[in-house]
Chains A and B, each alone.
Chain A
C-alpha cells in the first residue's frame, strides 16, 4: 500500500472529529435554523403589511432565500477555530508541528475542510431542496453561469474565512488570554458579513463601505449571487475580489505567523 498523504489523513480526522460529536452537529444545524425561521415569519409579516413589492431592494422571495441561505452559509464558512489555535499557542500544542515534518497551516486547513464536510453535504441537500421544492425560489432565475459562480464563491468564501481566522488567531502570540476577544470578533464578523441580515438594512453607505472589505465576500456576496441581487455583469468581478482578498489575507496570515513564531516560547511540558 502506498503511503497515504498526511494531509488526507488530517482531513479524515477532521471528519471523524465532526462525527464523534454528531449531536453537536445536529444541534448546531438547529441553532442555525431557529433564527432563520423566526426571521421568516418577521419578513412575511413585514412584506404583507407594507404592500410593497420590494424592501431594501429585495423582493419577498429574495429576502426569504437570503435569510435561509445566509444562516446555512454562515455555519459553513465560520471556522470557529480561533480557540483551538490560540490554545495551541498558549499551552505549547504548537510544539509538535515544529518538531515533526508537517506544517501547522496545512494541518489546520485540512482539518477545517474535513470538519466542514458534513456541513457541505447538509448544505448541498438544503440548496437542492430550496431549488426544487420551495415555492419562493421558483421566482428566482438561475442561469447556469450563476450557479457555477455561486459554487465557486462559496469555496472562495471558505478560504477567505479560514485565512482570516488563521491571521486573527496569531494575536494569541502577543496576548495570552483573549477568549472573549474571539467571541466578539466572530460575532462582529458574522454581522458585518451579512450572516444575520442583508447588509442593506444597515444603510447603503454601510454596504458600500463594507463592499471593499473581505467580510462582504464571506456571506453577503455568495448568498446574493444566488438570490440574483448581484447583477450578472458583476459576477466575475466579485470572484476576482475574492481572489484578491485571499491573496492579501494569505500574506497577512503568513507575516503574522512568521512574527509570532519568533515570539513563541514553547510553553508547557
Chain B
C-alpha cells in the first residue's frame, strides 16, 4: 500500500513574549519585550498508509494540534517537508483541499444561527458534490448517527454531542480520503463518545479513508487506532502498535494495596516503584519475577486489608511512558 502521508523532519517554532506578573512589568513590556522561541514541533518524521487509523497522543501543548495544522495546510512549517496525497499541504492546492477534512472538537464550522442542514448544504456547494451522491451520503450519515430529526434545528439549540455529530456529517459530505480529527469527543458524555467511535470505525472500514485522531480519552485511541504516535515536547517519543507500548512493561505488574492502618512510604520503597501512596492505599510497580516473593513479604510485614495484582494496561503504559520521558 502506498503512503498517503510522508513527513520528514518537520519543525515549527513559535516566537512569543514573556511577561512577568504585575503592572510594572506590563509597562516594561511596552518598551522592551523579551522575545522567546518555543519549538512546538521539532524534527518530526513519520509516514502513514492509505486506510490507516492513527492516534496522536500527548499531553496538552505537546504539538499534536500544530502537527495537524501543518498537515492540513493551515500553518507553514519553519523547516522540514511533508507530502500529503502527493501535495505539499501549505501550498493549499485546490485539488488537495478537495480530498480531506479536518474536524476540531473545540472549533465549530457550523453556522450557529442556521440549521445544520444549511451548513452541510454550503459544504456540498463548496466541494461541488453531485446532488445524487450528496443525498445518498447525507441519508447514510444521518441514519448512522441517528440525527435525521435534528437536521432542521438551529445549531445553537443542539446539545454538544448532537452538534459534534453534525460537524462530522458536514466534514464527510464530500467523502474525503483523509480525515483529521482534533479531539472529536472532547466534552461529550460516554454514550455520545461511543456513538462517534463506532461511526468513525464504520466509516473507515467502508470507505478505506485514512483517519488521524488526537484525543485525551484513552478509550478513543484503544478502540480505534491500532497504531499510535506519541508526541511530547514537540518530539515523537513512540511510534508503533498500541499493544507494543506495553511490551517493555510486559514483565511488570501493578500491585494495588489497601491497609487498615497508616503505612509510611519508605517501607514500600524496597519492593518496587511506588506510583501512588497516601498512607492507607498504595500502588506499586513490580517485576513479575518478584511478584510471589514480594507479595508474601508485604502480606507478612504490613497491615494489608486488600490486595490486587494487575497487568499494566495501555493507559498505565502510556502514562508511565509520559512520566519517564518528562
Interface residue ranges, A against B (CB under 8 Å): 1, 3-6, 8-10, 13, 16-17, 20, 92-93, 95-96, 98-102, 265-266, 268-269
Contact = CB atoms under 8 A, between A and B. Distances in A.
Nearest to A266: B74
A1 B118 contact: no
Contacts of A8: 125
A225 B65 CA distance: 54
Interface of B: 14, 65, 69, 72-75, 92, 94, 97-98, 100-102, 104-107, 109, 111, 113-114, 118, 121-131, 182
A20 B125 CA distance: 22
A70 to B, nearest CB: 31
Given A16-B114, A98-B73, A265-B14, A1 B126 contact: no
Contacts of B118: 13, 16
B106 A268 contact: yes
A9 B125 CA distance: 8
Contact of A5 (B92, B125, B129): B125
A23 to B, nearest CB: 14
A68 to B, nearest CB: 32
B105 A4 contact: no
Contacts of B94: 101
B126 A6 contact: yes
B74 A98 contact: yes
A123 B182 CA distance: 46
B130 A269 contact: no
Give the 4 A-B CB pairs with smallest separation, nearest first. Answer: A269-B107, A269-B104, A6-B125, A266-B74
B131 A1 contact: yes
Nearest to B101: A99
A8 B69 CA distance: 29
Given A98-B74, A101-B127, A10 B65 contact: no
B110 to A, nearest CB: 10
A30 to B, nearest CB: 22
Given A99-B97, A102-B126, 14 more contacts: A3-B125, A3-B128, A5-B125, A17-B113, A95-B74, A99-B73, A99-B74, A99-B92, A99-B101, A100-B123, A101-B97, A268-B106, A269-B65, A269-B104
A99 B100 CA distance: 8
Contacts of B102: 95, 99
Nearest to A2: B131
Nearest to B118: A13
Contacts of A6: 122, 125-126
Contacts of A99: 72-74, 92, 97, 100-102
A188 B251 CA distance: 73
A98 B114 CA distance: 22
